[in-house]
Amino acid sequence: MLRAVGRFRQNPRLPSGFFPGRCVQSAMGIRAVAEDAYREAFGILVLSAVASIFSGVVLGGMEEELTIVPGLLTLVPALLATRGSVYGSLGARLATGLHQGLVDPALRIPDRRVRSAILAAMLNGVVISGFAAVAGYAIRYGLDLPVAPLSALLVVALVAGVLSGLGLTFVVIVTVFVGYRRGLNPDALAGPVVTTTGDVIGIATMLAGARIAIQAGVV
Amino acid sequence: MSQEWTIEAIVAATFPLLVVLTVLELWGGLVLDGSKAVLTRYPSLLTLVPGIIAVAGNLGSVLASRLSTAFHLGTLSFDPADDALVGNAAATFALAGTLFPAVGAGAWLARYALGDAALSLVTVVFVATASGLLLAVVAVAIATTATYAAFRLRLDPDDVVVPVVTTTCDVLGVVVFLLVVGATV
């Protein structure tokens, strides 16, 4: 279990090249600590705030889908959070591989190692989306709350899981590899990239999934 | 990070945590869905939801990460007058106080541009700011408690505190936001 927890050591929301405590030296005053903490976190928080307004706009326009597919809103936080963890950890893993010389930063058919990392992330991302749909359905059904048929929630979650997986994998690989080739620290790129694009891609693909489910008549 | 890059090893190491994360986040989703009526009536509020979750989770994770590092460096003591503790808490409030009003204004502007701003700018910014400041209190309390608990239980705070605090802030972000919405709108 400790090993499993260790996988999350690198906080997917933060670039790992971001040394949170590098200025927390013994003799710093409160004011210095506060100013340093503020300055360090400000950039990444502004980035994620701006990106989240875009995802908010998509979500804000989804009243119709949210009404036709009851229970969909229940899945939103879970689908977004797992997206960040899964593809943030893919980015952190690729960054580590680049640093260790295990991964070749070429944008071509990936080698076996990179392919395993991508497939594992996609598998995690899609299966956990399906799990969220089943668990969300079970909880709402158990609590006697209005809920769409399980098949509808599954269609939304799986379509969103697959599409966002493809999109985020592409974004993560391109930014991490291209950044590395240009001399940037890939650890510092993976976190912010997933933070900023993850929610937008996550919500947009949920909307696509909801439209497909409604069109296909499973609701 | 392990050298083993097989699909089985990666899935086995991450999946159990993803399940726990999903169950916790579903609770947040359930609370969110409970307020669906007010959120769909006022799209500006629905627009705020991802921003509140993102900024709350990030605030918690930055603070947790800094406290864990300060703890490792031996510069953190659990004393209410400790520089690292008070300084980081102050930065969390300052970040919340600057970012949440901006998220509120951004969400309102986006809806205004789309022509469906049903609430006034002041209301949306107020909801975002009040939620943000309350969330800063929550983030400080949870990050400090979790770091202290990790210290008492002899766990590495890097392993435990960041995922716990980030997830809790995500979920409580929704709860606090809806409490403020309920009290305001």
Chain-wide mean pLDDT for chain B? Answer: 89
Distance from CA of B80 to the nearest CA of A (A): 12
Name every chain A residue with its beta carbon within 8 A of the beta carbon of B50. 52-53, 55-56, 59, 80, 199, 203
Angle at A137 between CA B161 and CA A76, to 5 degrees: 50
Predicted TM-score (pTM) of this structure: 0.83
Which of B44, B86, B99 minimises the CB distance to A30? B86
pLDDT tens figures, A94-106: 988 898 888 888 8
Chain CA centroid to CA B25, Å: 12
Q: Which two tokens stand for residue B34?
A: 């409970």
Among left, alpha and beta (phi > 0; psi -120 to 50; other), residue A183 is left
The three-state secondary structure class of A198 is helix
DSSP A203: H
For residues B132-151, b (16+ Cβ closer than 10 Å) or e, as one string? Answer: bbbbbebbbebbbebbbebe
**pLDDT, tens digit (0-9, with 9 covering 90-100), for A98-136:** 988 888 888 888 888 899 999 999 999 999 999 999 999
Around A118, how many Cα atoms within 13 Å sit in the side-chain half-sphere? 20
Please list every residue in chain A whose beta carbon sits closer than 8 Å to the beta carbon of residue B92: 37
Of A29, A59, A131, the CB nearest to B49: A59
Give the whole-angstrom CA distance, residue A90 versus residue A114.
Answer: 10
Q: What is the pLDDT of residue B67?
A: 86
Q: How many CB atoms lie within 10 A of CB A143?
A: 9
- Enumerate residue ranges in chain A where pLDDT < 50: 1-12, 14-26
Residue from B28, B1, B29, B25 nearest B14 by CA? B1
Contact predicate A120/B11, CB 8 Å: yes
Of the candidates B11, B59, B111, the beta carbon closest to that of A60 is on B111
Distances (CA, A) of B140 to A24, A199, B81, B160: 17, 25, 14, 16
Interface of A with B in 78-137 (CB under 8 A): 78, 80-82, 85-86, 89, 92-93, 96-97, 102, 113, 116-117, 119-121, 123-124, 127-128, 131-132, 135-136
The pLDDT of residue A10:
44
Q: Which residue of A37, A113, A124 is in closest CB contact with B87?
A: A37
Average pLDDT over residues B69-84: 83
User: Which residue in the block uniquely carries the two structure tokens 């797992």?
Assistant: A82
Using CA coordinates, name the residue in chain A closest to B22: A78
- Please give the Cα distance from A192 to A51 (Å, whole number): 10
